[in-house]
Amino acid sequence: MKLHQMDIRILKELQQDAAQTNLALAEKVGLSAPACLKRVHKLKAEGIIERIVAIVSPNAVDRRLNMVVEIEMTTDDLVVANQFIEAVNQSPEVKQCYKVTGEVDFVLIVNVTDIFEYEKFCQRVIYAHKGMKKFTTLISLRCTKFDLSQGGLSSI
């Protein structure tokens, strides 16, 4: 779908603050409130806005430790990969999973309370998977950027 310039303005605003009222959003993008609401509903209906979420502070729920985990599989077998993906998708500690090209097969972002919880996760998910060859864990010392917005809206 080709996005109208007004839709792009709405999307940019919502990515900065999805909790703002429709009236505030309409004022910022220069539309009437009913016209703005109609566009937002259309963006949702067409799947351009996938979902609206609240981002909870990791400190507030004591989930301060982020791991970047690189997984190398024993084989490129699709069935084995899909079994691993299913196991990862069932693990609440895994916040993101990417099937990648290169020397590793998957990159996971894992969020845990402490190293002991991470070890339990590794035993339950990573070591337990028959297709896992090896993995490397990178411990995040601090997050210097965290941005969930989609770039490139201006080029659409």
For the chain, list the domains and their CATH numbers: 5-54 (1.10.10.10), 65-139 (3.30.70.920)
Count the Cβ atoms, other than its own, within 10 Å of residue 54.
6
Banded pLDDT at 59 (limits 50, 70, 90): confident
Model confidence pLDDT, tens digit, residues 69-121? 999 999 999 999 999 999 999 999 999 999 999 999 999 999 999 999 999 99
Banded pLDDT at 55 (limits 50, 70, 90): confident
Q: Which helix (H) or strand (E) holds 111?
A: strand 106-112
Mean of the per-residue pLDDT values for the chain?
93
